[in-house]
Amino acid sequence: MQEFIRFFKNPNSTKRVKGVTSFFFYSLFFLIFYVCISFLIGALFKSLNFLFIIKQPVSLKITTLSLFRIMIITPILEEFLFRSFLYPQKKHISFFIFSLTFFLLNYFFFDYFLIKILLSFIFCFLFQLSSFQINYNWYSKNNRSIVYFSSIIFGLVHITNYQLTQTIIYMSPLFFTPKILSGFSLAFIRIKYGLVYSILLHSAYNAIPILLTFFL
């Protein structure tokens, strides 16, 4: 785990590698750590009688469509949005544009899935045709800030899992700690192994509450 600690201090220290053995090791560690810290924080809130403000998405009926959305669609779109650009290439910025367009359309306008996908592809395609050039020197100087910003925002956007109250605001550092830490772990995997691997780990994170509905 020394490499992850070095990454936390300086993301530029992490080198791209190929291979799945170490990926599975890191993923297993991150998943176990995520479950443990989530249980600890959950037990703390339960003892303080704060659970009444938490929505219970795991109590929803699990369908084939919801599984497809949770395990495939959401990990892909969120990794495109929060981590595709961590390895700066124009095609990765295009992934970010695609996902950002999709989420903005989904939040502000309408709920026609195929139309949102089509419009997102159009914006992505137009960006690819543009003359945009990546400033690699700027990126290298600000890489740490970019990783920190994307990981923290990733944790904070999951506020939609909670009813927004004063208690949530006051206790937000604890509420969002597991998600923020998972954001850093996904950023580490994305930079070290690639976008496909961070999507796989993200899918595994999303599987945890589903598995809990069957075994708890």
Does residue 190 register a pLDDT over 70? yes
Instruction: Report if residue 125 sits inside a domain.
Output: no
Tokens of 184: 């850093």
- Kindly list the distances between the CA atom of residue 63 and the CA atoms of 19, 55, 68, 148, in Å, as whole numbers in the listed order: 34, 19, 9, 35
Instruction: Report if residue 160 sits inside a domain.
Output: yes
Burial of 18 (0-12, 13-18, 19+ CB in 10 A): exposed
Instruction: Domain count for the chain, please give it.
Output: 1
Instruction: Report if residue 156 sits inside a domain.
Output: yes
Q: How far apart are CA 66 and CA 209, in angstroms?
A: 13
Contacts of 200 (CB under 8 A, 6+ apart): 27, 75
**Residue 19: how many CB atoms within 10 A of its CB?**
8
The 3-class secondary structure across 108-119, one letter per residue, is HCCCCHHHHHHH
Percent of the chain with pLDDT strictly greater than 70: 85
**What's the average model confidence in pLDDT over 149-160?**
87
Percent of the chain with pLDDT strictly greater than 90: 45
Q: How far apart are CA 158 and CA 63, in angstroms?
A: 22
How do residues 94-125 score in pLDDT, each as one tens digit?
Answer: 999 999 999 999 888 777 888 899 999 999 99
pLDDT band at 56 (very low <50, low <70, confident <90, very high): very low
For residue 16, give its domain range: 2-61+135-215
**What's the average model confidence in pLDDT over 194-206?**
95
Supply the pTM of this predicted model.
0.88
In three-state secondary structure terms, 12 is helix
Averaged pLDDT of the chain: 84
Instruction: Report if residue 47 sits inside a domain.
Output: yes
Q: Which of 85-89, 97-101, 132-136 has the highest mean pLDDT?
A: 97-101
Instruction: Report if residue 173 sits inside a domain.
Output: yes
Task: Flag the least confident range among 24-28, 203-207, 210-214.
Answer: 210-214
Instruction: Report if residue 90 sits inside a domain.
Output: no
Tell me the H-state helices in the chain: 2-9, 21-47, 64-68, 74-82, 90-108, 113-129, 136-156, 166-170, 172-175, 177-193, 195-215
Q: Rounded to the nearest 5°, which phi and psi values hold at 54?
A: -100, 125
- The tally of CA atoms less than 13 A away on the side-chain side of residue 215 is 6
Contacts of 114 (CB under 8 A, 6+ apart): none
Tokens of 24: 């599975």
pLDDT band at 5 (very low <50, low <70, confident <90, very high): confident
Does residue 50 register a pLDDT over 70? no
Instruction: Report if residue 45 sits inside a domain.
Output: yes
Instruction: Report if residue 169 sits inside a domain.
Output: yes
